[in-house]
């Protein structure tokens, strides 16, 4: 089965939280207080923050699938121009899988064993039993199965981009 990294895709005019402000939302994911965070853009979308901040519609979609390893943390963000608030939900994936085939992959890792760069990523698919998960020792690595990718696309969620794991260079 093919697996994909979920990435944030911003079209012109879409509502989004900038990558600089995503560090504020990372604090919220950790259960810490976070500074007032701003978004920009005017058009509704479903993937609003690269920190896996999603719309109420996207949250309802994921909840309808009864995926047990997902948690949704509500946060308020404010429009950068007119201070209007919007509630988004940070999707926290609580399933981490040690599924990298280190012998076949070409990775850059430091002594802490964290994956810092990827030239070639090969997964041990026999270790994967989930439709959504993160890769052990790899930051910002939410992965979905082809089945879940197709459901997201068919449901019409906007702002999601899918990059095949075997085609994902990371520097």
What is the DSSP track for 93-137? E--EE--B-TTT-EEEE-TT--EEEEEE--B-GGG---SEEEETT
pLDDT digits (tens, 9 = 90+) for 128-160: 999 999 999 988 789 999 999 999 999 999 999
pLDDT of residue 112: 86
C-alpha dist (Å) from residue 119 to 125, 146, 147, 165, 169: 19, 22, 26, 11, 5
Straight-line distance from the first to the last Cα atom of the chain, in angstroms, rounded to the nearest whole number: 25
Residue 48, both tokens:
């609003």
Counting every residue, how long is the chain? 171
CA–CA–CA angle 140, 49, 112 (5° rounding):
20
pLDDT of residue 141: 86
pLDDT of residue 129: 94
Phi and psi, residue 18, nearest 5°:
-65, 155
Domain ranges in the chain? 3-167
Report the chain's mean pLDDT, rounded to a whole number: 93
C-alpha dist (Å) from residue 106 to 67, 146, 166: 31, 23, 11
Model pTM score = 0.91
Does the structure show a pLDDT above 80 at 168? no
Quickly state the pLDDT bin for 11 (edges 50, 70, 90): very high
**Residue 81 burial (C-beta neighbours within 10 Å; 0-12, 13-18, 19+):** exposed
Cα separation, 62 vs 163, whole angstroms: 19
């Amino acid at each position: 089965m093919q697996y994909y990294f979920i990435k944030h895709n911003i079209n012109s005019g879409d509502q989004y939280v900038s990558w600089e402000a995503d560090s504020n939302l990372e604090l919220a994911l950790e259960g810490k207080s976070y500074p007032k965070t701003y978004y920009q853009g005017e058009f509704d979308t479903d993937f609003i923050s690269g920190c896996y901040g999603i719309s109420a519609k996207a949250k309802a979609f994921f909840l309808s699938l009864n995926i047990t390893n997902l948690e949704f943390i509500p946060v308020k963000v404010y429009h950068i121009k007119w201070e209007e608030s919007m509630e988004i939900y940070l999707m926290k994936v609580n399933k981490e899988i040690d599924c990298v085939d280190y012998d076949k992959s070409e990775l850059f890792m430091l002594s802490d064993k964290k994956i810092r760069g990827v030239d070639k990523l090969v997964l041990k698919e026999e270790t994967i039993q989930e439709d959504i998960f993160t890769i052990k020792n790899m930051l910002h690595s939410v992965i979905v199965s082809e089945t879940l990718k197709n459901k997201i696309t068919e449901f019409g969620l906007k702002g999601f981009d899918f990059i095949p794991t075997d085609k994902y260079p990371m520097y």
